């Protein structure tokens, strides 16, 4: 008809997931909350990687950030305070076919969940862990958190926080078997997406600290690093190469080899700027869940045969008479 080749066909996959497939309930975070930006980047990642929603799991603990699974159109587990990581590890080791993500706040991860955080890094299981760090307990209404800056006035520290804050990147980089550490800010959506993509494709435990504003309780705590001049953009062929637009906006850059653990630790300690990008990456660290699967002697077929054998013990055979009928 009209000279158009009617045999032309558009090759489409059997199933293509759109952004709407990863959206669930309407987020109830405060307007301007950085969690909204993180959610958008994660949903974009799921869409672009075409992660089947029924094969994707988001695990969280307690806190504003931990409402994340409620807003994803995937499987989710909203666990206890500080217990997101062991739950996620349990899911991953029993269901290695699933993509597992963990969302934690600074109180959730760096306070009651500290022991689980340390051992999750040491086990190096194939997970992506996002630390939403707004340096305050938001859900429980402005209590001091382990990452709150010294001197911060909160409901639990009316005279100012006495202790110096814990540094999540420095802690993580000091743990045995660390294999992936990155940092980004939620007001850098392009870089956040690129970092999350690398974290997802990393073989092992990916720990990403997302500096995140709380517009209600800590609206000014990051004022000193909001300017593009305050960010140090980490670049390397084995890490990230940012777009020309990002390079024009964030002019302070460093050629940082992410295999250099000592330099990564130095960057994590800097307080005069915000290093963003991949601080450390090492895919040669043994992945615990793969090691356990490799050494596991019992296969699914063996389990099935053992169950059938046990069931046979309780099988009642019909008694037949002389005519062959029961």
List per-block mean pLDDT (blocks of 10 residues) for the chain, which spans 326 residues: 53 81 93 95 98 97 93 95 95 94 95 95 97 90 90 89 95 97 97 98 98 90 91 96 95 97 98 96 94 70 87 78 59
Q: Which residue has the tokens 């090492």?
A: 282
pLDDT at site 112: 92
Q: Which residues pair with 183 in a beta bridge?
A: 209, 277
CA–CA separation, 57 vs 70, rounded Å?
11
pLDDT at site 20: 95
pLDDT at site 220: 86
Q: Tell me the longest C-alpha to C-alpha distance in the chain.
A: 95
pLDDT at site 1: 41
pLDDT at site 106: 93
Q: Which residues pair with 78 in a beta bridge?
A: 60
Q: How many other CB atoms sit within 10 Å of the CB of residue 154?
A: 18
pLDDT at site 8: 55
pLDDT at site 67: 94
Burial 165-175 (b: 16+ CB within 10 A, else e): bbbbbebbbeb
Structure tokens that stand for 112 in this block: 């009651």
Query: Taking the domains of the chain in order of start, what are their residue ranges?
Result: 19-294
* SS3 track for the chain: CCCCCCCCCCCCCCCCCCHHHHECCCCCCCCCCHHHHHHHHHHHHHHHHCCCHHHEEEEECCCCHHHHHHHECCEEEECCCCCHHHHHHHHHHHCCCCEEEEEEEHHHHHHHCHHHHHHHHHHCCCCEEEEEECCCECCCCCECCCCCCCCCCCCCCCCCCCCCCCCHHHHHHCCCCCCEEEEEECCCHHHHHHHHHHHHHCCCCEEEEEECCECCCECCCCHHHCCHHHEEEEECCCCCCCCHHHHHHCCCEEECCCCCHHHHHHHHCCCCCEEEEEEEECCCCCCHHHHHHHHCCCCHHHHHHHHHHHHHHCCCCCCCCCCCCC
CA–CA separation, 51 vs 16, rounded Å?
10
CA–CA separation, 62 vs 36, rounded Å?
17
pLDDT at site 323: 62
CATH topology of domain 19-294: Rossmann fold (3.40.50)
């Amino acid at each position: 008809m009209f000279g158009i080749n009617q045999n032309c066909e558009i090759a489409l996959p059997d199933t293509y997931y759109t952004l709407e497939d990863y959206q669930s309930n309407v987020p109830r975070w405060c307007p301007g909350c950085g969690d909204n930006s993180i959610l958008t980047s994660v949903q974009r990642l799921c869409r672009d990687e075409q992660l089947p929603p029924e094969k994707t799991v988001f695990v969280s603990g307690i806190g504003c950030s931990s409402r994340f699974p409620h807003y994803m159109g995937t499987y989710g587990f909203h666990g206890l305070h500080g217990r997101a990581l062991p739950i996620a590890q349990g899911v991953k080791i029993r269901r290695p076919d699933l993509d597992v993500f963990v969302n934690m706040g600074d109180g959730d991860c760096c306070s009651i969940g500290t022991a689980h955080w340390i051992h999750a890094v040491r086990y190096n299981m194939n997970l992506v862990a996002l630390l939403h760090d707004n340096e305050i307990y938001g859900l429980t209404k402005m209590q001091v958190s382990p990452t709150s800056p010294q001197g911060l006035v909160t409901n639990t520290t009316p005279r100012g926080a006495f202790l110096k804050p814990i540094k999540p990147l420095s802690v993580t980089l000091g743990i045995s078997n660390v294999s992936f550490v990155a940092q980004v800010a939620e007001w850098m959506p392009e870089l956040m997406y690129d970092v999350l993509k690398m974290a997802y494709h990393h073989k092992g435990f990916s720990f990403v600290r997302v500096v995140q504003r709380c517009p209600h309780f800590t609206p000014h705590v990051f004022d000193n690093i909001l300017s593009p001049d305050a960010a140090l953009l980490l670049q390397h062929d084995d890490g990230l190469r940012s777009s020309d637009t990002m390079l024009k906006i964030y002019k302070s850059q460093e050629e940082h080899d992410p295999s250099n653990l000592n330099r990564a630790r130095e960057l994590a300690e800097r307080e005069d700027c915000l290093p963003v990008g991949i601080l450390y990456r090492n895919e040669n660290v043994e992945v615990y869940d793969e090691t356990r699967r490799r050494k596991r002697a019992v296969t699914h077929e063996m389990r099935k045969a053992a169950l059938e054998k046990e069931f046979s013990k309780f099988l009642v055979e019909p008694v037949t008479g002389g005519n062959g009928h029961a």
